[in-house]
Chain A
C-alpha cells in the first residue's frame, strides 16, 4: 500500500491550491484525481457556459490570468487550459485516473481505496467540489414519463433537447442562463422562480465582482458574521452570466425575451404542475437585497472619496412579474417536452466512510476543518469566506487549512 502524509482528493482549483500550499510547507502529499485535471469543468458543464467571474479574478497561489482580456469571462475549454497550465507550472504531484471509491479511518490516519489501488495517509483534504450532484426536489418523481427530465449537469445545448417546450425549475445562475439560450433557440420556456439573488453584471462602470472585491464583501469570514452563517451558506448562486458583451440577465430581461415566469414548483401530479403564489414577494426580496448591496457600494465610493472616478449611482427597474402569473400548467397541453432541474447542486460524499455528515447529508466542519481528525474540506459555499467557492477563494482557504494541517503534523511529531 502506498503512503503519503497528505492526500488531496480532486485536482480542480481547490486541490491544486492546497497542493501548492502543502508544497511550500514541504509536506509530502499526492493529489488523487478521478479523471484529469479540471475534470468537472471539462465534462460536467454546458457548451456555452463561461465563468461568472472576470478573468482578472482567476487568481491562484503563485499564478494568475495574464492574457489580454482581463474583463472577459473564460469559456470552459479556457478554464481547463488555465488549470492544466497551473498544474504543470506548480508541479503538483497528481495521479490522474484514480477515482477514490472509499475512505476509512485507520490508526493515525485514513485508508484511501482508489481505482488505482489503495493509499494510506495521515491527513485528507476533500477538494472534490460543491457541485458533483444535482439537487432535485422530491416532487420531480411526479413528472409524467412522456416528459424528459434532466439536470444542468446533463444539458449541453438547446439542439440536443427533446422537441417541445422546456420548463426550467430554478432561476439562479444555471436556470437563467439556460432559459436565455433555450428561449433564444425559439423554444417555449417556462421558468419556475424560487428564491434567487438578483445582481446586475455591471454597476457604475465596473463589474459587480469588482465591486464586491473592493468593498471587501468577498473576504468576509464565516466566523465574523452577524447573520446566520448556515443561511448564508445555503444562499442560491448569484443570478449572473459571463458573456463577451457583459450583459445582465434578470427576470425582467427574460420576461421581455418571452420567457414565461412562474412561481416555485410546489406540485406535480397527473402531468400538471402547480406554482407557488409567492413569486411577487420573492422578487421583492431579491430587489431589496440587490439595492442593499448597491447602497453599500455607493457608501464605499463616498467614503473613499473616489466618487469622481465612477458614473453616478442609479437603481435598476424593480422586477415586474405582472399580476397575471399563472399558478398551474398542464405540461402536455402546454407542449412541454422536457424539464430541467436547475435546483442547485451538492457534493458527493458517497465514498467517504467516516461519520462526518449531518442529518441533511452535509459535511460537518468548522471553516473547512472537518469533524474528524485530520480531514479538511475545500471549496464549499462560504466555507471560510464569502469567496470560498470561487476560484479566487481557493488561495486564502488553502493557506489557512495548510497551516492548520502542518501545525497538527508538527504537534504530533513533537
Chain B
C-alpha cells in the first residue's frame, strides 16, 4: 500500500503515530529502555467482590507515576450466589482483549491513512464450568475458545479493514497473553 504523507495528515483517529514511530526508532537503539513492568494490586472487599488499584508502572528505564490511581472492581454474578456488584474477572479479560485490539486498530488505521468512523467489538467466550467447579479434571478452567467480531466503519475497502484487524492481533499484547502460555509465579505470606 502506498500512502503519501499528505493523505496521512488528513486522517485523524486521535493517535499520535509520529510519537509512536519515534519511540520505536529510539528503542531500537536502546533495547534496555524497552523493558517495562506493569502492576496491579487487589484488595478483597467481601465475598467474591474485590477491588484492584492500578497506578505506577516501570518503563523507559524509570518509575512512571500517574496523576491518579485507577480502580477496577470484580465480582461474581448472582447465578454463582454472589452479589454481582461488578463484572467477573473473565469478563474483564474479554474487555482487556477488546480494548487492546481496538487500540491497535486505531493506531494502525492512523499509520495506514485510514479514517475511522466507528469501531465496535463484540466478544464471546466459551467456558465449561465443570472445570472451575472441579467436577471433571479433563475440562480446563479457562476459555475453550474466544470469538471476537469487529464492526468497523471507515474510509477503506473491506480487505483493508480486515487487514487492520489482522495486523492489530499480530501486534497486540493481550492477544498474545491469551493465545500463548506465560509462566506465572504466585507467592504468599
Contact = CB atoms under 8 A, between A and B. Distances in A.
Interface residues of B, number: 18
B144 to A, nearest CB: 10
Contacts of A284: 162, 166
B145 A323 contact: yes
B17 to A, nearest CB: 14
Given A281-B166, A284-B166, A291-B159, A276 B145 contact: no
Interface stretch (B36-44, B51-59, B167-175): B167-175
A188 B78 CA distance: 48
Contact of A285 (B1, B145, B167): B167
B180 A276 contact: yes
A271 to B, nearest CB: 15
Nearest to A269: B181
A157 interface: no
A226 interface: yes
B6 interface: no
Nearest to B3: A226
A123 B162 CA distance: 49
Contacts of A276: 179-180
Given A226-B2, A278-B175, A288-B159, A267 B181 contact: yes
B34 interface: no
Is chain B's binding surface mostly helix, strand, loop or mixed? helix
Interface residues of A, number: 17
Given A226-B2, A277-B178, A278-B175, A288 B169 contact: no
A278 B176 CA distance: 8
A232 interface: no
A221 to B, nearest CB: 15
Interface in B154-189: 159, 162-163, 166-167, 169-170, 175-176, 178-181
Is chain A's binding surface mostly helix, strand, loop or mixed? mixed
A116 B83 CA distance: 82
A53 B178 CA distance: 39
Interface in B131-158: 145
Contacts of B167: 285
A284 B175 CA distance: 15
A90 interface: no
B177 to A, nearest CB: 11
A226 B7 CA distance: 14
A266 interface: yes
Nearest to A228: B24
A288 B162 contact: yes
B130 to A, nearest CB: 19
Nearest to B175: A278
A274 interface: yes
11 contacts: A266-B181, A274-B181, A276-B179, A277-B180, A278-B175, A281-B166, A288-B163, A291-B159, A292-B1, A292-B159, A323-B145
Given A226-B1, A266-B180, A288-B159, 6 more contacts: A274-B181, A278-B175, A278-B179, A281-B170, A281-B175, A291-B159
